Structure 1
Amino acid sequence: MALYLLFLLCVLSAATFSFSSGAGTAATSPTSSPATAPAPKPPPSTPISSAALDPKQLSALESLNIPTSKNPCSPPPRSGGAPPTATCDSSRPFRHLVSLTLTNCSDDVALSLTALKSLSTLTSLSFIDCPISPIRFPPELSSNLRSFTCISSLKKLTGVWLSRLHNATDLTVSRVSITASGPWVILSGMKFLHSVTLSQANLSGVLPKHWQPNLTYVDLSGNNLKGKIPASLTRLENLAHLNLSSNSLNDTIPSSIGDLSALQNLSLAKNSLSGSIPESLAALPALTHLDLSSNQLNESIPNFIRDMKKLKYLNLAGNNFRGVLPFNSTFIKGLEVFKVGDNSNLCYNRTTLGSKVKLGIAPCDKHGLPMSPPPAKDSSSSDDSSDSSDYDDYGNSEGKKKHHSGPNKVVLGVAIGLASIVFLIVFLVCLAKCCK
């Protein structure tokens, strides 16, 4: 009997173990074969473009009374008032401003140091038509800025204020008065500068003697700069654009100007430069724009200019050039803009350019000198001839024939009149004799 009970106990134990193993296998089977089980869904992610701006920076924009949307990092709507143009990074959970452009600011926009500290992540900052009062930027913002633009904005700046942007690679200030003893105050500490525009800024002084070697674009036009163009400026081998127009620069154009091998645009107009056009300009194969107008340049226009194949804009007007214009019609027609007027000692060859061109200079006589202008016409015809400053009536043989035919007709008329009187006298004498 005891043996029988022991046998039943073993059977029951085996059955219980089998049931427990089966239940355990069933419970763990979903995780024991992950290849066949569906993967869990990840939490929904927010696109980068819709991530919100850092609340501190949003509050900073609002404190400046700058109208912004709830998320300036998103593209602004096309309709309605457009918020400032902004570019943000892709950091999470909040994005940060890296560029900001403020345009047409209202009168209640005012800069504050606290707000600008919150915007120290900016690397590009632009003010366009924002005549607000400037304040000193916090050091973090001044150091981070790589691009700074100020056009008709910030009322008045100083050279020292701008010089604090020492890491800038692109500096543009136009139509804003800058108080400085010269451009060197602003530029001397900017070691990474590639492009600089300081135009119509009422800058005085002389051009710097030292320039950053990486400069590719220089525009200092519309100021009160004086003195001569330093030879050091011609050592910028990467310079493609140079505009020094509308200043009071004097002396001559540096003979080393041809060392600017990458130069494409050169404007030295409206200065007091004298002397000749340097022959070294012939070494500038990429030059497309050349403006030397309104100076005191003299001597003859060099022949090499007509061999500059890429030249499209040429303005030599308002100088003291003399001699014969060395260009033919093919060269002139290949230019988009060509001006050479107001050079009283310069003339053009009629056999090369024809007699009806309108260049603003006289045609040459047989000695290669400008022909005298025609006599002044009466006021009734002055309007009709106002555009004939090139004296295009010269060389017109038809006009000369008409000019000489006038006296011949008068003589013929007088002769006919006298003959008629003689005939009448003879007739009256004969009639008197017959009556007797």
Structure 2
Amino acid sequence: MEPQPLPLTLLLHLLLLLLLSATALSAKAPLPPTPSPTSSPTRPNSTTTPKSPTLPSSPSAKAPLPPTPSPTSSPTPPNSTTTPRSPTLPSSPSSSTLDPKQLRALQSLNIPTSKDPCRNPSILPPNTTICDSSKPFRHLLSLRLANCSDDVALSFTALKSLSTLQSLQFLNCPVAPIRFPADLVASLHSFTCINSLRRLTGVWLARLQNLTDLTVSNVQVNASGPFVILGSLKKLRSVTISHANLTGSIPKHMNLNLTHIDFSGNKLQGKIPSGLTLLENLETLNLSSNSINGSIPTSFGDLISLKNVSLSSNSLSGAIPESISAIPGLVHLDLSSNQLNGTIPKFLSDMKSLKHLNLANNKFHGVVPFNVSFISRLQVFKISRNSDLCYNHSVLSSKLKLGISPCDKHGLPMSPPPAKADSSADNSSDSDYDDTDEDDEKQDRHHGPNKVVLGVAIGLSSIVFLIIFLVLLSKCCR
């Protein structure tokens, strides 16, 4: 009976080989790719099928029409009950709940009306409509015309039928402009024209006197200045006239209730008027890419509601006024590509809401007054292309890609900034600083699973060898 332990030994050896094979396979198995933060998770073997817009179901649309009684048909027995059925609306323009005159106006603009534009506004992309709830026919309150075909033409008759519109938008509709009927002019509260209507005049826009929101972009506007337009629009709250070849200067007096001003990408000249700082409700000011000169008004801090300011790509000179520090909610400040000079004020680092600071391509000199904690708190920080500006290398690390040189003991730039650092600062995402800890962390995450697999394999092998050792030890002790 001595040879019985032999099969047990073979079994243990076989178990050892299987475990070693399993651990080897697990160690060689490729790791699944780590999804990037910007990629959305996708289920394997799943296909996304675009869904067609679902039409709202109504009892009147589903119920069939009752049979028309013929003269010879027998009357309904008195004791029988019949459920009244609402007639089915046929899918034709005559069945629309929209006013027939406005329906014909939409047809003249080549907008499909086979479906009711009031009940199913989403079936008309990219054109959209919003209707009121009046009876027996509803009326349009909002209309957007987008990507118009060449054969679309505005007619005075069609626009007169649309006099209930409060919002009218033209997006990529290069049709010839036409004078709006008086009823439509009085009804409009919002007008948007982007890359449309070929060319506009200031007098034409000034007729829309009840507007609260005006947006004109990538359309040539013939006017001697913004005041020709804004002088008549007393109810205006938001105005955008950008990339419109607009000449003249910034109006000295504007509606005090304005919350949004965007005159970017024009040919405006002159100084920023001090009267602009009276707009206490102003939240956004964009005067970038013009020919504005002079200095920033010292009373600029009176714009206490400002959140976003862009004065970039002008010819502004002088220093940054200290009053800007009094704007509590300022988030975005872009003063780049001007001729601003002096030292960069330290009070900017005390502005708690600031997230975007661009002072690049100016004539600032001296030492950058910011520390690492302030710079790391910003989402965008750019100060490159200020040749007389430098940073204290004992305060700021050279790893920060600022695009400027470190200072010498006299507070002057030691040498021109390296071209590589400057180009990387300009071509980086929205930031001029870099943190390498994130890359190291990614590498650690990539190599981490291999170490875990190796540790598991060593542990399993140790357990197997321990079992074999104990079995052989017990066999020898018998």
What is the CA distance between 1:69 and its match in structure 2? 3.6
1:249 aligned onto 2:292: yes
What residue in structure 2 maps to residue 274 of structure 1?
317
* Pairwise CA distance, 1:84: 1.9
Alpha-carbon offset, residue 74 of structure 1: 1.9
Q: Does 2:104 correspond to 1:59?
A: yes
Counterpart among 168, 176, 190 of residue 133 in structure 1: 176
Cα 1:46–1:126, aligned 2, differ >3 Å: closer, same or farther? farther
Residue in structure 2 matched with residue 104 of structure 1 by the alignment? 147
Selected match of 2:118 from 55, 63, 73: 73
Matches within 5 A, 1:288-299: 288-299=331-342
- Whether contact under 8 Å (1:51, 1:95) holds in the other structure is no
Q: Percent identity?
A: 64
Offset at residue 45 of structure 1 (A): 10
Secondary structure of the 1:273 match is: strand
CA distance in 2, matches of 1:110, 1:133: 7
> 1:373-412 to 2 correspondence within 5 Å?
373=416, 387=424
1:76-132 deviations in whole A, cap 9, x for unaligned? Answer: 466xx6362000000011000010001111111100000100000000000011111
Partner of residue 396, structure 2: 353
RMSD of aligned Cα (Å):
2.3
Distance 1:227 1:354, change over 3 A: same
Shift of 1:261: 0.5
Q: Determine if the alignment matches structure 1 residue 122 to structure 2 residue 180.
A: no
Give 1:71 shift: 1.3
- What is the Cα deviation at residue 67 of structure 1? 3.0
Q: Retained in 1: the 8 A contact 2:250–2:270?
A: yes
Query: TM-score, normalised to structure 1's length?
Result: 0.74
2:402–2:421 CA contact under 8 A, matched in 1: no
Code of the residue aligned with 1:197 in structure 2: it is: T
- Number of the residue aligned with 2:371: 328
**Match in the other structure for 2:275:** 232
Aligned match of 2:221? 178
| Contact preservation (8 Å) 1:84, 1:102 | yes
CA contact (8 A) 1:245 1:268 kept: yes
SS in 2 for 1:198: strand
- 1:217 to 2:260 alignment: yes
Asked if structure 2 preserves the Cα contact closer than 8 Å seen for 1:51 and 1:93, the reply is no
Helix, strand or coil at the partner of 1:141: helix
AA in 2 matched with 1:191: K
Bigger Rg, which one: 1
Contact 2:384 2:425 in 1 (8 A): no
Structure 1 counterpart of 2:371, one-letter code: N
Question: What is the Cα deviation at residue 64 of structure 1?
Answer: 2.3
Offset of residue 65 of structure 1: 2.4
Q: For the structure 1 residues 388 and 146, does the alpha-carbon distance in structure 2 shift closer, same or farther, using more than 3 Å as the test? A: closer
Deviations 1:261-315 (A, max 9, x none): 0000010000000000000001001000000000000000001000000100000
**1:206 touches 1:226 (CA, 8 Å); kept in 2?**
yes
Please say if residues 126 and 146 of structure 2, whose CA atoms lie closer than 8 Å, have aligned partners that are also in contact. Answer: no
Unaligned runs of 5+ in 2: 1-81, 90-94, 427-478
Equivalent position amino acid for 1:170 in 2: D
Q: Hey, what's the Cα distance between the residues in 1 that align with 2:348 and 2:421? A: 34
Deviations 1:332-351 (A, max 9, x none): 00001111000001000100
Q: Give the equivalent residue in structure 2 for 1:260.
A: 303
Match of 2:129 in 1: 86
Deviation at 1:372, TM superposition (A): 1.8
**Who is 1:317 aligned against?**
360
Matches within 5 A, 1:161-176: 161-176=204-219
* Corresponding residue to 1:342 among 385, 402, 407: 385
Residues 323 and 184 (structure 1), Cα distance of their counterparts in 2 relative to 1, 3 Å cut:
same
Structure 1: state its 5+ residue gaps: 1-39, 377-381, 390-436
Task: Give the direction of change, closer, same or farther, for the CA distance of 1:273–1:42 in structure 2 (3 Å limit).
Answer: farther
Within a 5 Å distance, the mapping from 1:32-51 to structure 2 comes to none
CA distance in 2, matches of 1:309, 1:383: 32
Residue 388 (structure 1) shift: 8.6
Residue 51 (structure 1) shift: 6.3
Quickly say closer, same or farther: Cα 1:43–1:186, change in 2 above 3 A: farther
Distance 1:46 1:218 in 2: 50
SS of 2:118's partner is coil
What is the CA–CA distance in structure 1 between the aligned matches of 2:373 and 2:310, rounded to whole Å?
24
Whether the 8 Å contact between 1:69 and 1:83 is mirrored in structure 2 is no
* SS state at 2:214 partner: strand
Q: Find the aligned partners of 1:313 and 1:158 in 2 and give their Cα distance.
A: 36
- Report the equivalent of 1:201: 244
Which whole-Å CA distance do the structure 2 matches of 1:354 and 1:97 have between them?
61
Which residue is equivalent to 1:413?
none
Q: Read off the aligned partner of 1:212 and give its amino acid letter.
A: N
